[in-house]
Amino acid sequence: MTESNDQLREVVRQKYAGIVKSSLSGCSTSCCGSSEQAEADFNMIGDAYDGISGYVADADLGLGCGLPVEHAGLKSGQTVLDLGSGAGLDAFVARNEVGERGHVIGVDMTAEMIARARENAKKSSFDNVEFRLGEIEHLPVLSDSIDVVISNCVLNLVPDKQRAFAEIFRVLKPGGHFCISDIVSSQQLPDWLKGIAEAYAGCVSGAIPKEDYLELIQAAGFSHVDVVIERRIHVPAELIAGSLTSDQREEAIKDDLHVMSVTVTAVKL
């Protein structure tokens, strides 16, 4: 664990703690925005959750980039782990799928998010979903104990993605699988963008090339790696304009630097 990684984790932690506080005060939030950037009002998921069974409005902070539960193939009685569970949105949707005989565990490294998720679960009288404080690279979960892992727009924010996928592999039962929606880049992002902490916390420079992302999954031991959904994300220029010079913005346009939302599935044989 490097000092740089620790610093990035703290940037992300503070960013998402701020999102909780902003939502409580009625300000708009998003994965790549915050109350300070309300003029961008960028939400990558839009109204995709409309009509989804198990949806809890108080848990929706507009932070997702996909619908991992939709492609996770959840079944009644399964144990599901939601990584970066936030205020509990996908955990509650998953809970609806696995039923009363199932169990859902949400893990998030931001204490404010855990508190918000637990409050939401209590208000809805959900007794088969729990939320644990912890980092994805060091999951507070027993080995070989999870049927399905889900995650939504989170792993791109993890500094040590190799360790993260190794942890996912560890906690899954043999034959278990994951379904992860995440942000990847079109190509290797330049150093000047990687070094911008604010952009990192905003889902931009935390992304790695799609090919590298899939290779990390395979290197962790997973089989049947499949990208089931892919779409280009059009990030509003004003979101990162304050962090980039005009030359850097021109370079990004010239090289067609962009990010994509992908939903990936894989199996632990």
Positive or negative torsion for Cα 180, 183, 189, 194? negative
Give the pLDDT confidence of 7-20 residue by residue, as tens digits.
878 878 888 888 88
* Residue 15 pLDDT: 83
Q: Are 102 and 69 in contact (CB under 8 A)?
A: no
How do the residues of the chain divide into helix, strand and coil, expressed in percent and rounded to 5? 40, 25, 40
The CATH number linked to 117 is: 3.40.50.150
* Residue 4 pLDDT: 77
**Which of 176, 153, 132, 139 has the alpha carbon at shortest distance from 16?**
153
pLDDT band at 39 (very low <50, low <70, confident <90, very high): very low
Is 82 strand, coil or helix? strand
Is 34 strand, coil or helix? coil
Which DSSP symbol is given to 220?
T
Radius of gyration of the chain (CA): 17
* Residue 11 pLDDT: 79
Give the pLDDT confidence of 190-237 residue by residue, as tens digits.
777 655 545 544 555 578 999 999 999 999 999 999 999 999 887 666
* Residue 42 pLDDT: 57
Q: How far apart are CA 59 and CA 262, in angstroms?
A: 22
Q: Are 94 and 54 in contact (CB under 8 A)?
A: yes
Report the number of distinct structural domains present in the chain. Answer: 1
* Residue 27 pLDDT: 55
Q: Are 78 and 173 in contact (CB under 8 A)?
A: no
Q: Answer with the residue of higher pLDDT: 250 or 1.
A: 250
* Residue 170 pLDDT: 98
pLDDT band at 38 (very low <50, low <70, confident <90, very high): very low
Q: Give the lowest-confidence range in 51-55, 142-146, 209-213, 254-258.
A: 254-258
The pTM for the full model equals 0.87
Q: Are 58 and 89 in contact (CB under 8 A)?
A: no
Query: Per-residue pLDDT averaged across 32-55, rounded?
Result: 67
* Residue 41 pLDDT: 47
* Residue 47 pLDDT: 83
User: 269: burial class by Cβ within 10 Å (0-12, 13-18, 19+)?
Assistant: exposed
* Residue 25 pLDDT: 62
Strand ranges (E), the chain: 79-83, 103-108, 129-133, 146-152, 172-185, 223-233, 259-267
Q: Are 68 and 152 in contact (CB under 8 A)?
A: yes
* Residue 124 pLDDT: 96
Residue 34 has pLDDT above 50, yes or no: no
Give the neighbor-by-neighbor strand order of the sheet with 79-83. Answer: 129-133, 103-108, 79-83, 146-152, 172-185, 259-267, 223-233
